[in-house]
A and B are shown apart, each in its own frame.
Chain A
Amino acid sequence: MTTFDVVLQQIVNGLVLGSFYALVALGYTMIFGVIKLLNFAHGDLYMVGGFVGFLALSAISSVVGAGWGGVAIAMFMSMIAVGCLGVVIERVAYHPMLRAPRLSILITALAVSLVLQNTVLALTHGQYTAFRSDFGFGGINLGNLFITYNQMILIGIAALLMIALELFVSRTQYGRAMRAVAIDKDMCQLMGINVSAVIAITFLIGSALAAAAGTMAGAYYGSVWYFMGFLIGLKAFTAAVIGGIGSIPGAMLGGLILGLLEAFGTQLPGVGSEWKDVFSFAILILVLVLKPTGLLGKSEQERM
C-alpha cells in the first residue's frame, strides 16, 4: 500500500468514527444550547441505546432477521425508548434543578450517569454482551481501498439523521422555538413559547440520536458493555467543543474533525493507538486554550 492508500483508508476510518462522535455530540450541543447544562449522562444514554438496540434486535430477529433491515428497526425502537428515557431524566433530575447553582446541576448529571451505568452493570454483571448481526464483511474495492458495506451504511445513516435534524431545526416551528429558547429562555416564556415542552423535545431528540449511535456502534463493533459510554461521552464533548458548543453544524463538523484527527493520529510516529486518547484530549485542550468558542461558536459574555 502506498502512502496515498493509507491516507484514503484512514479517511474512511475517520469518517466512521466521526459519525459516531458527531451523533453523540449533537445531543451535547443541543442540551447545552437550551439549558446550559453539560449533560454528563449523555454518553451513558449512548450506552443504554446500544443495549436497548441489542434487546430489540434479539426480540425481532426471528421475524425480520438480523440483517440491515433488522438493525434499522432495532435502531428505531431504541431511539424511541431512549428518547423517552432522556425526557424522563430531564423531568425527574434536571427540571427541579434549573434554578439551583450551576455546580449542583452538574453534579446531578454526574449522579444520573452513575445511576445509568450501575443499573446496567448490575443487570449484566459487567460482562460484554455479544451484539450479533448478519452484516458479513462484504464491501467494494476502489483501487487499493476497501470499504465495507457496513461502513458505507453507517456513514449514510448518520448523514441522514443529521440532515433530518438540520431540517427540523431550521424549518419547523419547534425547531425555531428551540433556537429561540437557546438565546433567551425568559423572553420566550413571555412571548408564549412553552419552554418546558421545548426542553423536553430537545432531550427527546438528543437522546434518540445518542441511541442511534449506540445501536450502530454495537452492530459495528459486535458487542456492548456498561462502560462503553464513558469515553465516547468525553470524545463527543470534545467534538462539540471543537465545533463550538451550542452550534449544531459545529457538532457535526467537530465530530468529523475529531474522528479524522484520531484516525490520522494513530499513524503519526510516536502517537500509535496507545496514545490515541491522549492525543484527542491534547487537541481538546489546545482548541479550548487557543479558541475557547470553537470553530463555529459564538463568543459569549456570560460567566459562571
Chain B
Amino acid sequence: MPDAKPALPDHGLGPFLQDARVRWVACLIALAVLIAAPLIFGPYGIVILTNALLYVVLCLGLNIVVGYAGLLDLGYAAFFAVGAYTIGVLTVQFGFNFWVAFPFAILAAILAGVIIGGPTLRLRSDYLAIVTLGFGEIVRFSARNLEVTGRASGLSGIQDPWLFGWHINSSIDYYYVFVFLAALAVLASFRLANSRLGRAWLYVRHDEDAAEAMGINRVKVKLAAYVIGAIFGAIGGAFFATNLGAISPESFSFEQSVLVLMAVILGGMGKIPGVILGAFIIILGPELLRDLGEFRLLVFAVGLLLIMLFRPSGIWPARRA
C-alpha cells in the first residue's frame, strides 16, 4: 500500500525481541505454557483455548493472503468450509477413513484457491474483496442446498481420527492437536515470510508493476498466496469438523470470514505475533464479556471500533522498512 504510515519509532522491547535467541526462548516458553494449560484451566477453558488455537491457524492462513500478498479476502470462511465439508462428505457419505479423506481436503483447498484466485487476479482491492465475498457466500449457499452436504441441517456423525493407535476424541486430545497445528502454522508462516516467495509477495504488495518489471510472475505469486492460505484454512476446517463431529452451513458464514479478517487486522497484518494476539482477542474477548448477555457482542464491536480508531495499523503492527 503506497499510503502506508511511516515506521513507528522502536523503543523498549523492540531490539531485544529482534534477537533470534530471545525469540526462540519466547516461543519455547509459549509452547510450554500451552502444553501445561490443561493442568490450569477447567474443561470449559480448554474448549475456548482450542477454539482460539483454531483461530490462530485460520488467521495465519488469511494473513498470508492479506498480510503478505496484500490481497483483501472477505470469503476466507469458504476455504475453511471446503476443508470441513470434504472431510464430512467423504467420511459420512462415502465411509472414507479420516486420513484417506485428508489429502482430498488439501486437494480441494488447492482447487478452491485456484478457482477463487484465477479470475480475480486482475481486480483492484475493493472489487477483489467483493468477489471473494461472493465466492464465500456461493460456497455456503451451495452447502445449504446440496443433498450430499446435508442441506441446511448439515452433516453429523463425523468420526474421530486415529493416529498410530491413538484415538483422538476427548477435548484434551483435540486441544493438543490444535496446539500442534498452531505451532506448525507459526513455523510455516515464519519460513514463508523469509523465503524467496515471501519476498516476492512483499514486492507485489508494495508495487505490482515494479515487481512484474523485475521478473516476478505476478499471477503465479498471487495464486500461491491464495493456495497456501487455502491449505491452512482447510486443515483447520478438517480438524474442526472431526472435533465437533457435526458441521452445518452456518459455521461458515460471512461473519466467520469477517471475524478472521478482523483478528488479522486488529492484531497487525503481516506480523506473526500480532496475528496470534488478534486471534486470541477475537475469541477470548467475547468470552470474557459473557456476563453482559445480549450486549456482549455490542460492547465487543464498540471495542473493535475504538481499537481501529486509535491504532489503525493494528495493535502489534509490522514495522515498515
Contacts and interface: CB of A to CB of B under 8 A. Distances in A.
Interface string B110-133: 000000000110111111011101
Most buried by A among B4, B122, B305: B305
Contacts of A121: 294, 297-298
B313 to A, nearest CB: 7
Interface in A99-114: 99-108, 110-112, 114
A234 B262 contact: no
Contacts of A241: 127, 130
Contacts of A292: 122-124, 127
B5 to A, nearest CB: 7
Interface in A151-184: none
Interface residues of A, number: 47
Contacts, number: 136
Most buried by A among B119, B134, B298, B301: B134
A109 B129 CA distance: 14
A285 B312 contact: no
A interface, over-half SS: helix
B258 interface: yes
Given A289-B119, A304-B1, A115 B125 contact: no
Contacts of B122: 289, 292
A51 interface: no
Interface in B281-321: 294-295, 297-298, 300-302, 304-305, 308-309, 312-313
A93 B130 contact: no
Nearest to B139: A278
B127 A288 contact: yes
A121 to B, nearest CB: 7
A298 interface: no
Most buried by B among A96, A112, A114, A122: A114
Interface in A250-302: 274-275, 277-278, 281-282, 284-285, 288-289, 292, 300, 302
Given A96-B309, A285-B119, A292-B123, A111 B301 contact: yes
Contact of A38 (B129, B137, B208, B312): B129
A226 to B, nearest CB: 11
A237 interface: yes
B64 interface: no
B130 A237 contact: yes
Given A275-B141, A285-B134, A114 B297 contact: yes
Contacts of A110: 258, 261-262
A301 to B, nearest CB: 10
A114 B298 CA distance: 7
Contact of A281 (B137, B298, B300, B313): B137
B138 interface: yes
B72 interface: yes
Given A101-B1, A104-B265, A284 B295 contact: no
A194 interface: no
B61 interface: no
B259 to A, nearest CB: 9
B159 to A, nearest CB: 29
Given A97-B308, A115-B302, A285-B119, A278 B72 contact: no
B176 interface: no
B298 A284 contact: no
Given A101-B313, A292-B124, A303-B208, A107 B137 contact: no
B155 interface: no
A208 B79 CA distance: 37
A122 B295 contact: yes
B70 A304 contact: yes
Contact of B131 (A101, A277, A285): A285
A234 B255 CA distance: 13
A230 B254 contact: yes
Contact of A102 (B125, B261, B297, B308): B125
Interface in B129-162: 129-131, 133-135, 137-138, 141-142, 144-145
Contacts of B19: none
B312 A118 contact: no
B269 interface: yes
B3 interface: yes
B312 A102 contact: no
Interface string A34-74: 00101000000000000000000000000000000000000
A288 B122 CA distance: 10
Nearest to B303: A111
Given A101-B313, A110-B258, A284-B134, A118 B298 contact: yes
Contacts of B5: 100-101
Interface in A180-200: none
A122 B309 contact: no
A107 B308 contact: yes
Given A38-B126, A38-B130, A238-B130, 17 more contacts: A97-B309, A101-B4, A101-B5, A102-B3, A104-B313, A111-B301, A111-B304, A115-B298, A121-B297, A274-B145, A281-B135, A281-B137, A284-B134, A285-B131, A289-B119, A292-B127, A304-B72
10 contacts: A96-B309, A106-B72, A107-B266, A111-B304, A121-B294, A122-B294, A275-B141, A281-B134, A281-B141, A288-B120
Interface of B: 1, 3-5, 66, 70, 72, 119-120, 122-127, 129-131, 133-135, 137-138, 141-142, 144-145, 208, 254, 258, 261-262, 265-266, 269, 294-295, 297-298, 300-302, 304-305, 308-309, 312-313
Give me the 5 closest cross-chain CB pairs, A-B, nearest first: A304-B125, A100-B312, A114-B301, A281-B134, A118-B298
